[in-house]
Chain A
Amino acid sequence: MVSKRAEQFLVELRMYLISKGKNDQEINEITEELEDHLTEAEAAGKDVSHIIGDSPKNYMKSIGESMKTDYRQLAGLVPLMILLLTAYLSIGPAIEGTFSVSQGTIWFALVISSISILVYGLFLFKVMPKFFQSKWNYVLFTVTFLAVTGLMIAFMFWYKSQEFEVVFVATPAQNNLIIVLCAVIFIGAALYTKTWFTVLIPLFLSMGPIATRFVPEEANNDPLYITITILAFLLASAVAIAIFIFQSKKDQKKI
């Protein structure tokens, strides 16, 4: 077992190396090796700074520079990200049965994707490692999540008001086909990255559209139903986020 400070350093190092596109296996090796070293050193009464020096940042940099950037791994991730984002954006309308492509669709997808990649990327690699040990992590994640979702909704309203010329409207059969395709992409991505959240997030995102497709029209006008739904969603998101953070902490401990 290592001290909290050492553990914090190991998490920061891992995130730093991932963000620099290093090979997963090599990242595991070096963090395991350092954890072993830190465990022994701390057991011998040495301080973390005795191992990593006064500037953890410089030390992380020197490790990163000694490792190859795995361009093949990165090259595989880019098409995967594009497929995943396309699937994320298509599954909602497809479930609602309203999938269509207009001239603005590409722009809409590009803007939404870049914003979410940028914000979540910053959060995951820069902010989260710093607050790994503290409860602020939960607060920060919720704020980030709400901010991005809010931005997306605002953008969606703007997009709808633009009335772009529609070039393709899916038939009910095509909508179902798109749902199946999206599901295949999500499951494939989950298997490829060995993470389960690529399946859970779309399930979560689909709840809204599934509800609009199957809940009768009258319910949409009843304020009581609306309040209950909002509360249920807030509760569900809180639980999902908590599970996600708890799980990633557990994963980190195993490493």
Chain B
Amino acid sequence: MADTTQMLKGILDGCLLSIIKEGEIYGYELAAKLESYGFHSFSEGTIYPLLLRMQKEGLVSTTLRKSTAGPKRKYYSLTEKGEQELEQFIIRWTQLSSSVNNVLNKGCFRNDCC
């Protein structure tokens, strides 16, 4: 769904960082994990442009390892910069999601507003 894809932009970065933090992982496994967490409506390949960018920005580092089938596999792990970015993301996300929830539930986050 195109709408979900638009919304996912930016959020997916944080999710990828969070999954990579759990331990070294390669592309397909990463996509499969995302799917297992409930991300069904995005095309799996979307992660690669993001990974390329994160690699360029020094958030993740890569190592090539031999795989059982075919060519060498690229494994991703989190750098220190990546961990900091993930922390930032968690703060941003917590604020954003609570604001969105407030809007949707018409709740208030200031006690004196209603």
Contact = CB atoms under 8 A, between A and B. Distances in A.
A51 B45 contact: yes
Chain B contact-residue range equals 20 to 34
Interface string B22-60: 000011100100000000000111101110110010000
Chain A contact-residue range equals 20 to 34
Interface stretch (B11-19, B68-76, B82-90, B97-105): B68-76
Nearest to B29: A40
A53 B45 contact: yes
A66 B69 contact: no
B69 A39 contact: yes
A2 B74 CA distance: 18
Interface in A17-58: 29-30, 32-37, 39-41, 46, 49-54
Contact of A36 (B28, B43, B50): B28
Contact of B44 (A29, A51, A54, A62): A51
A126 interface: no
A177 interface: no
A65 B49 CA distance: 8
Contacts of B43: 49-54, 59
B4 interface: no
Contacts of B50: 66
B6 interface: no
Interface of A: 29-30, 32-37, 39-41, 46, 49-54, 59, 62-63, 65-68
Interface of B: 26-28, 31, 43-46, 48-50, 52-53, 56, 67, 69-74
Given A36-B28, A59-B43, 20 more contacts: A32-B74, A33-B27, A33-B48, A34-B45, A35-B70, A36-B67, A37-B48, A40-B28, A41-B28, A46-B44, A51-B43, A51-B44, A53-B45, A54-B43, A62-B49, A63-B49, A63-B52, A65-B49, A66-B48, A67-B52
